[in-house]
C-alpha cells in the first residue's frame, strides 16, 4: 500500500485562498491485498483488493470499502486472463498512463473530470456527490474482463463488459463495454481505449475514449494524449502534453492540458479551460519520496473548473462566488511512502 | 479469506429475466484475520475477525465492517471455550452444515430466508433492508458463548446468551439464548440447535430451530435437515434433502427444499414453495474452483419467494409485477479463490 | 491489534440497571497496520494506520475507518520527526498517560468527557452523536506535527497545527494548534499539553489543557493529573488521582476523579461530579489478560454524568428519567487479547 499526505494551498483569485491537508497527491494513499496461486501448466489464479485511504482524515474507500479494485482472476500464459469484479475502466488506464502526474495532485489531468464543470459529464451523470464517485470514468463494478496473454510482440489488450443490473450508472451499476489496446517497444508506448455506457441519464449512450503515445529516452519521457467524453450534443475533449525529466535522484514533471467543450450553443462551446502544471519529486528511497507540485487552471467563457481544495465556487452567474472564466492557482508539498 | 465472483441469470417468467454479477455463490467472499496464542497448561486465547467482501462491487461488511464474526476467546482443552462478541447463531450453523450449497448461490437453502416472503420472519422482524441484515437468523451481536471441549466421544455442543441492551432485534440488539448439540462418528453427523429471541416485534418471542442428519461414504454425502421459524400463529418450516457426489476432481451437488408456511388463515397456510437445485464444482486446486449452479423456485398459493438477482417482484396482487404463485429459474457460473 | 470484550452491568439507581456487552474496557479493540523504513543516515520514514473494532458488534472505525490514527512521517534521530495526517490531540495523550485505566472502561477518567453533561464541551461543540465522535478532545484530522528527537536528557515534546478547511469542528475539521512537553527520569514522569480550537461554536475559541505528574517505584505507580476545558464563561476542570499496585501476575488499579464545573450562574457552577473506581487485571501472558473493574459516579447539583451502558437518562428536570444529582454504579469483567 501507500500513505501520501501533503499540505496544499489553492488561490481562487478574488474568492480568496485556502490551505488544506490532502491525501494522495503523488500516489494514491491505499491499502492493497493481493496474491497469485500457481496452478501448474501455465495456469494461475489471482485476487486483488484495493482500498483508498484518506491519509488526512483516516477515511477508507469511497462508496464502498474496496473502492479501487476487487477482482478474482484465472490466467493462462497461452490463452490470457479472465477477470471478474470491480476494476478500472480502460480509458482511465490509458489517460493516467500518459499523464506525468498520473491524474493526481494539483496538476492532475483529471482536474477537468468535474461533473459540475464538464457539461458532457454533468448531463450524462447528474451532479450529486454520489455520482462523482460512482460514474464510470474512473472505475466500474460488475465487470467481466478478458486480457490478452503476454508475449505478443509488445502488444497488450483487453475487452470489458459490465452488467447494469437494472440500475443506473449513478448508482454504480453501469451497463457498458469497452476495450484497451496498446503496444510498447523501442521506448515507444502507444495505446487507445474506449468505454461506452448505455444507461447514462435518460437511458442515453455516453462514450468515453482515450488514446496517447509517449517516447522514453535516457530515463526521460515525453508524451501526448487525448480523452473524449461524448454525450448527445455535448463534448468535453481534453488534450494533454507532458514530460518527465530525470534529475539526479529525482524527477521534474511538466504538463499542459487543454479542455475543449462543444455544445448545442456557441456559449456552451466557449467554455474551455487549460491547465499548466510543474512538479519536482525527490526520491529518498524506492519507497519514499518528497514532492512539490504547482499548477494553474485558466477558464475561458463561463467555464468553472477549479483545482480542488480552494474556497467554494459557484457556476451560477448570480452567486456571490461565481467563478465563470476565472483562474485557480495551487501549490502543494508532501511525503509519499509505499509499504 | 476468499474472493468468489459469478455471472448469474435469473428468469422470473412473465416478468422477464436479468443478468448480474454476484459475489460468494460458492463460498462467501471474505477477509479473515485470526490467531491463537498458546498460554500453556492446555489454555489458549484466540481472536477471529471476518468481513464480507462484495467481489462484484468492492463493498465490505454489512451493517458493520466485521459483520461475519468478531470474537475473543479463552479456551481450555479440559473445560471448553468461553467466547465473547459477534458470532453465528447456532441454528444457522446446523442448517448450513447439511446444505450441499452451504446456503449460498442460486440453490441456497436460505432462498426461503426472506423477510418479505416468509410471513413468520416478516411478522417477527419487519421488512426493511436493515432488518434483513440485522435479524438473528444468521448472526448475532453481544454474544457470550460456552463451547464443550474436544474429546467427548464425537459429541460437540455449545450454549449462547446475547444481550438486548434495551434495543430491538431489528437494530441488531437481540435478547436471546440458544444451544447447539451434535455428534459425529462412523460417517454419521447429527445435530440440533435452537435460538430464541425474546424481543422480536411487539416484544414477542421468536423461536428458530434446526436439526439434521447426514451420512458420508466414499467421499459422497447424503443428508436431510429441517429449519423451523415460529412467531405467534405464523410458521415457516423448511425441509431440505441433499446429496454431494464425488466425481473425479469435482463434485456434483443436488438439493430439494420445501418451505411449508402455516398461518392464522387457510390462505396464509397455502403459501408454500419448493426449490430444486443442482451444481457442479471443479477444483483446480485446494484453493481455487470453477462452478456452475442451476435452480428453480416454484411458489404455491400467494407465495412470492424468488432467487435473488432477477427483475423486481411484488407481493401486492394489484401490482403489475405481482409474483404470487409464480416460478423463478436461475443459472450461475463463477470462480472461487481462497487466499 | 487488540480484541477486548467484557460484560458490563450499570445501575442508575431508581432508573434501574442494564447488562450489556462492551468492547475495549481494558485496552481499545483495534486493528493496527504500521511500519518503518530505514533510509540511512539516521533518517527513516514511517506509516501508522489504526482502526477501532467494536468487538461486541463487529463495527469498525468511527466516522472514518482509520479513526484512531492515519499518519505518514519522516524522522531524523538528530532533527526530530515531521508527521502528517490524523492523530491524537496532545492533551488526550497526557490525560490518558496518567489515568490508571487509560481512559477506558467503567472507571475511565473520560467518563466526564460527555457533550451532554459537560457544559463547556456541549456549548463548544453541540451535542449531536457526530460531534461526540468528531470534536477535538480525543483525535484530530489534517494535522501537521513536529516531534523533538530522542536523547534530550529525558525531555520529549511536540507541536501540532491542524487545518480547518473552512469546515466546523463538529464535521471533524478543526482549526487548531497545540503542544506537548514532558520529562521522564528517576521514576518521575511530568507532562503538560494544550490544544486550542479556533472554530468551535460561534467561531469562538475552545481551550483544552492537561498536565500531570507520576512516580514509579518497584512496579507501582502513583500520580495526579488535571484536564481543563474552557469555553467562554464555562469550564469543566477534572482532577484525577490514581494508583497502580503490582500484585503477583496482576495489577490493582485505583482512581478518583473530581469534575468541577464553573459557569455564568451559581446553578451552573454547582453541577460537579466525582468518580471512584477500582480494578484488578490478571495477566495470563504478555498478550492476554482477564480483568474486573468497578466504579461509581456521584453527581452534585443538576449534573447528569453517567457510566455508559446503563438505562437512558435525561438532563431535563421534567423528564421521567431525569438524572440530575443522581448516582451511577457499574461493574464489568472481560478478556483482553493483543495480536
DSSP A128: -
C-alpha cell at C328: 451511577
Q: Distance between CA atoms of B185 and B188, rounded to whole angstroms? A: 5
| Spatial CA neighbour of C111 closest among C287, C216, C240, C18 | C240
Exposed (0-12), middle (13-18) or buried (19+): which is B277, by Cβ within 10 Å? buried
Instruction: Please work out, in degrees rounded to the nearest 5, the angle formed at the alpha carbon of residue A182 by the alpha carbons of A181 and A185.
Output: 160
Q: Distance between CA atoms of A195 and A192, rounded to whole angstroms? A: 11
Q: Which of A30, A31, A72 to mutate to test the interface with B (most CBs of B within 10 A)?
A: A72
Tell me which residues of chain A have a C-beta less than 8 Å from any C-beta of chain C: 1, 3-7, 18-21, 31, 53-61, 65, 284-285, 287-288, 290, 309, 311-312, 334-337, 339
Which portions of chain B are predicted below pLDDT 70? none
Tell me which residues of chain A have a C-beta less than 8 Å from any C-beta of chain B: 33, 35, 37, 39, 43, 45-47, 49, 51, 61, 64-74, 82, 84-86, 141-144, 163, 165-166, 172
Nearest to B39 among C19, C61, C284 (CB): C284
At A213 the pLDDT is 98
Give the list of residues 6+ apart from residue C273 with CB closer than 8 angstroms, or none.
Answer: C112, C117, C258, C259, C297, C298, C299, C300, C303, C305
Region A126-146: mean pLDDT is 93
CATH no. for A26-273? 2.40.160.10
Tell me which residues of chain B have a C-beta less than 8 Å from any C-beta of chain C: 33, 35, 37, 39, 43, 45-47, 49, 51, 61, 64-74, 82, 84-86, 141-144, 163, 165-166, 172
Q: Which of B30, B49, B57, B312 to mutate to test the interface with A (most CBs of A within 10 A)?
A: B57
Q: Distance between CA atoms of A309 and A314, rounded to whole angstroms? A: 14
Q: Cβ of B37 and C4 within 8 Å?
A: no
Lowest mean pLDDT among A16-20, A140-144, B267-271, C128-132: C128-132
Q: Cβ of B3 and A72 within 8 Å?
A: yes
Helices (H), chain C: 90-98, 119-125, 129-134, 266-269
Nearest to A86 among B57, B65, B335 (CB): B57
| Spatial CA neighbour of A162 closest among A64, A236, A90, A76 | A90
Residue A130 has pLDDT above 90, yes or no: no
DSSP per residue, B177-216:
EEEEEEEEETTEEEEEEEEEESSSGGG--EEEEEEEEEEE
Q: Which of C47, C50, C63 to mutate to test the interface with A (most CBs of A within 10 A)?
A: C47
In this structure, what are the phi and psi dihedrals at residue B36, rounded to the nearest 5 degrees? -135, 135
* pLDDT tens digit sequence for A83-119: 999 999 999 999 999 999 999 999 999 999 999 999 9
DSSP per residue, B55-122:
TTT--B-SSSTT-SEEEEEEEETTTEEEEEEEEE-HHHHHHHHH-TTTT-STT-GGGG--TTT-HHHH
* pLDDT tens digit sequence for A287-322: 999 999 999 999 999 999 999 999 999 999 999 999
Q: Are A56 and A22 in contact (CB under 8 A)?
A: yes
- Which sign, positive or negative, has the C-alpha torsion B224, B227, B228, B234? negative
At A23 the pLDDT is 98
Comparing alpha-carbon positions, the chain C residue that sits nearest to A308 is: C165
Q: Cβ of B45 and C287 within 8 Å?
A: yes
| Spatial CA neighbour of C141 closest among B18, A68, A58, B120 | A58
First to last CA, chain A: 5
CATH no. for C2-338? 2.40.160.10
C-alpha cell at C275: 468518580
Report ipTM for this prediction.
0.95
* pLDDT tens digit sequence for A148-178: 999 999 999 999 999 999 999 999 999 999 9
- Number of cross-chain residue pairs from A and B with Cβ atoms under 8 Å apart: 112
The cell 490508571 sits on which residue? C100
At A133 the pLDDT is 86
At C132 the pLDDT is 85
* pLDDT tens digit sequence for B100-143: 999 999 999 999 999 999 999 999 999 888 888 899 999 999 99
Q: Cβ of C39 and A285 within 8 Å?
A: yes
- 3-class DSSP state for residue C260? strand
- Which sign, positive or negative, has the C-alpha torsion A95, A99, A105, A109? negative
CB contacts of C82 in chain A (<8 Å) are 335
Q: Are A173 and A209 in contact (CB under 8 A)?
A: no
Region of residue C129 (phi > 0: left; psi between -120 and 50: alpha; otherwise: beta): alpha
**Given pLDDT bands bounded at 50, 70 and 90, which one contains residue C129?**
confident
At C107 the pLDDT is 98
Q: Cβ of C49 and A54 within 8 Å?
A: no
Q: Are C109 and C95 in contact (CB under 8 A)?
A: yes
CB contacts of A313 in chain C (<8 Å) are none
Q: Distance between CA atoms of C118 and C130, rounded to whole angstroms? A: 16
Residue C87 has pLDDT above 90, yes or no: yes
Nearest to B172 among C57, C65, C339 (CB): C57
- State the average pLDDT for chain A: 97
The cell 472564466 sits on which residue? A325
At C147 the pLDDT is 98
- Burial letters for C38-53: b for 16+ Cβ neighbours within 10 Å, e otherwise? ebeeebbbbbbbbbbb
Give the list of residues 6+ apart from residue B202 with CB closer than 8 angstroms, or none.
Answer: none
At B133 the pLDDT is 86
Q: Which fold would CATH assign to domain B36-306? A: Porin (2.40.160)
Chains with 3+ CB–CB pairs under 8 A to A are B, C
Percent of chain C whose pLDDT exceeds 90: 97
Q: Distance between CA atoms of B98 and B242, rounded to whole angstroms? A: 8
Residue A5 has pLDDT above 90, yes or no: yes
Instruction: Please work out, in degrees rounded to the nearest 5, the angle formed at the alpha carbon of residue C130 by the alpha carbons of A134 and C192.
Output: 120
Q: Are B210 and B225 in contact (CB under 8 A)?
A: yes
**Given pLDDT bands bounded at 50, 70 and 90, which one contains residue C130?**
confident
CB contacts of C35 in chain A (<8 Å) are 339
- Burial letters for B220-235: b for 16+ Cβ neighbours within 10 Å, e otherwise? ebbbebbbbbbbbebb
C-alpha cell at C302: 443538576
Q: Distance between CA atoms of B319 and B317, rounded to whole angstroms? A: 6
Residue A129 has pLDDT above 90, yes or no: no
Residue A128 has pLDDT above 90, yes or no: no
Residue that wins the pLDDT comparison between B129 and C87: C87
C-alpha cell at A71: 477482482
| Spatial CA neighbour of C82 closest among A286, A26, A284 | A284
- Number of cross-chain residue pairs from A and C with Cβ atoms under 8 Å apart: 112
CB contacts of B54 in chain A (<8 Å) are 64, 66, 70
The neighbour count for residue C152, using CB atoms within 10 Å, is: 11
Residue C150 has pLDDT above 90, yes or no: yes
* pLDDT tens digit sequence for C261-280: 999 999 999 999 999 999 99
Q: Which of A34, A58, A66 to mutate to test the interface with B (most CBs of B within 10 A)?
A: A66
The cell 525527490 sits on which residue? A282
Residue C188 has pLDDT above 90, yes or no: yes
- Cα distances from B260 to residues A302, B119, B243, B307, in angstroms, run 66, 11, 21, 17
Q: Cβ of B21 and A163 within 8 Å?
A: yes
Q: Distance between CA atoms of C182 and C213, rounded to whole angstroms? A: 9
Instruction: Please work out, in degrees rounded to the nearest 5, the angle formed at the alpha carbon of residue C41 by the alpha carbons of C36 and C42.
Output: 50
- 3-class DSSP state for residue A167? coil
| Widest Cα–Cα separation across chain C | 67
C-alpha cell at A14: 478574488
Give the list of residues 6+ apart from residue A326 with CB closer than 8 angstroms, or none.
Answer: A12, A13, A14, A15, A299, A304, A313
What is the distance in angstroms between the Cα of B227 and the nearest Cα belonging to chain C?
25
Q: Where are the domains of chain B?
A: 36-306
Amino acid at each position: 500500500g501507500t500513505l501520501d499526505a501533503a499540505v496544499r494551498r489553492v488561490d481562487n483569485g478574488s474568492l480568496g485562498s485556502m490551505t488544506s491537508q490532502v491525501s494522495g497527491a503523488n500516489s494514491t494513499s491505499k491499502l492493497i491485498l493481493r496474491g497469485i496461486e500457481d496452478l501448474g501448466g501455465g495456469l494461475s489464479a489471482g485476487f486483488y483488493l484495493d482500498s483508498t485511504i484518506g491519509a488526512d482524515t483516516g477515511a477508507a474507500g469511497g462508496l464502498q470499502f474496496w473502492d479501487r479494485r476487487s477482482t478474482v482472476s484465472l490466467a493462462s500464459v497461452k490463452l490470457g486472463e479472465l477477470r471478474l469484479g470491480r476494476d478500472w475502466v480502460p480509458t482511465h488506464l490509458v489517460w493516467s498512463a500518459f499523464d506525468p502526474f498520473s491524474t493526481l495532485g494539483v496538476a492532475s489531468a483529471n482536474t477537468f473530470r468535474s461533473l459540475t464543470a464538464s457539461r458532457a459529464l454533468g448531463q450524462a451523470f447528474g451532479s450529486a456527490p454520489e455520482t462523482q464517485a460512482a460514474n464510470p470514468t474512473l472505475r466500474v463494478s460488475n465487470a467481466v474482463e478478458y486480457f490478452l496473454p503476454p508475449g505478443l510482440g509488445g502488444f497488450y489488450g483487453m475487452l470489458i463488459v459490465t452488467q447494469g443490473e437494472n440500475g443506473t450508472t449513478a448508482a454504480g451499476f453501469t451497463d457498458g463495454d469497452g476495450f484497451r489496446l496498446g503496444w510498447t517497444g523501442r521506448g515507444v508506448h502507444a495505446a487507445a481505449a474506449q468505454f461506452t455506457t448505455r444507461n447514462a441519464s435518460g437511458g442515453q449512450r455516453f462514450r468515453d475514449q482515450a488514446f496517447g503515445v509517449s517516447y522514453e529516452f535516457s530515463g526521460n519521457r515525453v508524451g501526448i494524449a487525448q480523452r473524449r467524453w461524448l454525450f448527445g450534443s455535448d463534448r468535453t475533449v481534453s488534450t494533454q502534453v507532458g514530460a518527465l525529466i530525470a534529475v539526479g535522484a529525482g524527477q521534474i514533471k511538466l504538463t499542459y492540458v487543454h479542455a475543449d467543450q462543444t455544445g448545442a450553443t456557441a456559449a456552451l462551446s466557449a467554455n474551455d479551460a487549460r491547465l499548466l502544471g510543474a512538479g519536482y519529486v525527490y526520491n529518498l528511497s524506492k519507497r519514499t519520496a518528497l514532492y512539490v507540485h504547482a499548477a494553474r487552471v485558466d477558464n475561458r467563457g463561463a467555464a468553472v473548473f477549479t483545482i480542488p481544495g480552494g474556497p467554494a465556487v459557484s457556476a451560477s452567474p448570480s452567486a456571490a462566488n461565481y467563478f465563470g472564466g476565472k483562474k485557480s492557482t495551487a501549490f502543494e508539498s508532501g511525503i509519499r511512502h509505499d509499504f
